[in-house]
């Protein structure tokens, strides 16, 4: 059994990181050390997490996060909405295209590599396993490989038409969450109610035809049920936790977890503090006052395993720096590299080595091998 808690001992697959959003809207240069990012934000007050970020490429590499799902996000908000976002679908689309341009720039710099298919996935996994094995053996490894990323869209409001969905597919988009917060164009999200509507059903049918992955995170209960009834393709939940531990509609009820498991889904648990412990009040509660630790994150992983009866459907979808930083993360987490401590925590709870590796990366790799091995593309 691997017992190392030190960074880079294991490959980690993170199923939800808002990298481009942070780079463009938070103006963070992820190629630089985290201390540099935090220092440059000292004195800024435009966002609550200034100077408290947890993510950058050096810390991802230090923690063994060699493969991730990286998002595009651009919400369209109708007049009267209090949610932040763009005032037309065209503006939202343009925002996601700008985010795509940043990912392309990172590819050109050798920092990232887009994964579009099974061959690309296996190439990245092999490169990272070789790199991490060299580190574990105490050998001087070659330069770290680029971080492999699968492109996902969080909230589909920026998809102006089905033609734009097909264009996004050609650009490498492989997963779509139809909704984010509130009412959406194609589905209803967190804190909203209602089903998909005609446009939502058309979107899911087109996703099915293209072979896209449906991301069930953020779907309200009504849209969740309708989406899973209609959509016949692969389903995952990139960043969701358990309603039994933190009562809120953003979380999955046990029956939803069981339904996702029956569809072969993997649920990536998130590290946003209010999703980890009940009673969190934004701007008031602190990680220290709540006693919030990484063990609470493991509680949600463990609950999914207990509900499904195995460890095949739990994974990591950290959502770190998803518009929050250390002020809204476990108190014992300083950077994303601290996810490398999870194997020791799971081992102490009695998880077998194979199950630990499944949670770290194996479950999502198995999911993608199944989904892309039967790709309709």
pLDDT digits (tens, 9 = 90+) for 183-223: 999 999 999 999 999 999 999 999 999 999 999 999 999 99
Inform me whether the pLDDT recorded for 295 exceeds 60.
yes
Q: Residue range 132-160: average pLDDT? A: 93
Q: How high is the pLDDT of residue 146?
A: 98
Q: How high is the pLDDT of residue 190?
A: 97
54, 326 Cβ separation under 8 angstroms: yes
Q: Residue range 168-176: average pLDDT? A: 98
Inform me whether the pLDDT recorded for 95 exceeds 70.
yes
Q: Nearest to residue 371, comparing CAs of 267, 233, 178?
A: 233
SS3 194: coil
Compute the Cα dihedral for 45, 324, 227, 253 and give only its sign: negative
The structural domains of the chain, ordered by start, are 13-373 (3.20.20.140)
Q: How high is the pLDDT of residue 272?
A: 98
Inform me whether the pLDDT recorded for 358 exceeds 70.
yes
Residues 251 and 148: their CA atoms lie apart, in Å, by 28
Inform me whether the pLDDT recorded for 4 exceeds 60.
no
Residues 265 and 308: their CA atoms lie apart, in Å, by 11
Q: Nearest to residue 372, comparing CAs of 83, 119, 111, 47?
A: 119
Inform me whether the pLDDT recorded for 25 exceeds 70.
yes
Q: How confident is the model at residue 1 (pLDDT cuts 50, 70, 90)?
A: very low
Q: How confident is the model at residue 3 (pLDDT cuts 50, 70, 90)?
A: very low
Q: How high is the pLDDT of residue 142?
A: 78
Q: How high is the pLDDT of residue 8?
A: 59
Q: How high is the pLDDT of residue 253?
A: 98
Q: Residue range 60-84: average pLDDT? A: 95
pLDDT digits (tens, 9 = 90+) for 232-267: 999 999 999 999 999 999 999 999 999 999 999 999
Q: How high is the pLDDT of residue 149?
A: 99
E strands, 210-342, are: 213-215, 235-236, 267-269, 314-316
* Ranges 34-43, 74-83, 84-93, 155-164: which has the least confidence: 74-83
Inform me whether the pLDDT recorded for 324 exceeds 90.
yes
Inform me whether the pLDDT recorded for 120 exceeds 90.
yes
Q: How high is the pLDDT of residue 335?
A: 98
Query: How far is the CA of 155 from the CAs of 16, 252, 327, 357, in angstroms?
Result: 13, 18, 25, 30
Q: How high is the pLDDT of residue 374?
A: 54
- % of the chain at pLDDT higher than 70: 97
183, 158 Cβ separation under 8 angstroms: no
């Amino acid at each position: 059994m691997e017992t190392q808690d030190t960074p880079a001992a294991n490959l980690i697959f993170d199923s939800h990181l808002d990298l481009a959003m942070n780079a463009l809207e938070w103006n963070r240069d992820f190629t630089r050390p985290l201390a540099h990012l935090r220092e440059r934000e000292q004195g800024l007050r435009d966002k609550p997490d200034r100077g408290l970020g947890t993510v950058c490429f050096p810390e991802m590499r230090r923690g063994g996060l060699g493969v991730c799902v990286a998002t595009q996000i651009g919400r369209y908000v109708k007049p009267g909405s209090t949610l932040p976002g763009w005032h037309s679908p065209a503006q939202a689309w343009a925002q996601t295209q700008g985010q795509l341009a940043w990912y392309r720039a990172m590819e050109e710099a050798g920092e990232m590599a887009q994964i579009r298919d099974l061959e690309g996935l296996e190439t990245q996994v092999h490169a990272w396993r070789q790199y991490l094995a060299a580190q574990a053996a105490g050998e001087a490894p070659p330069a770290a490989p680029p971080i492999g990323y699968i492109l996902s869209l969080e909230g589909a409001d920026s998809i102006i038409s089905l033609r734009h969905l097909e264009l996004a597919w050609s650009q490498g988009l492989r997963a779509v969450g139809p909704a984010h917060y509130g009412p959406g164009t194609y589905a209803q999200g967190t804190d909203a109610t209602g089903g998909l509507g005609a446009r939502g059903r058309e979107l899911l049918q087109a996703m099915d035809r293209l072979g896209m992955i449906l991301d069930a995170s953020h779907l309200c209960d009504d849209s969740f049920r309708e989406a899973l009834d209609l959509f016949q393709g692969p389903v995952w939940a990139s960043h969701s936790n358990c309603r039994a531990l933190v009562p809120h509609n953003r979380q999955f009820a046990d029956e939803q977890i069981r339904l996702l498991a029956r569809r072969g889904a993997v649920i990536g648990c998130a590290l946003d503090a209010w999703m980890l412990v009940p009673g969190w009040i934004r701007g008031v509660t602190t990680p220290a006052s709540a006693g919030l630790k990484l063990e609470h994150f493991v509680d949600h992983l463990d609950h999914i395993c207990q509900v499904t009866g195995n460890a095949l459907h739990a994974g990591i979808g950290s959502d770190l720096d998803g518009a929050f930083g250390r002020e809204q993360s476990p108190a014992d987490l300083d950077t994303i590299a601290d996810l490398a401590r999870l194997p020791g925590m799971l081992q102490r709870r009695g998880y077998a080595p194979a199950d630990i590796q499944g949670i770290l990366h194996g479950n999502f790799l198995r999911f993608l091998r199944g989904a892309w091995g039967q790709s309709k593309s």
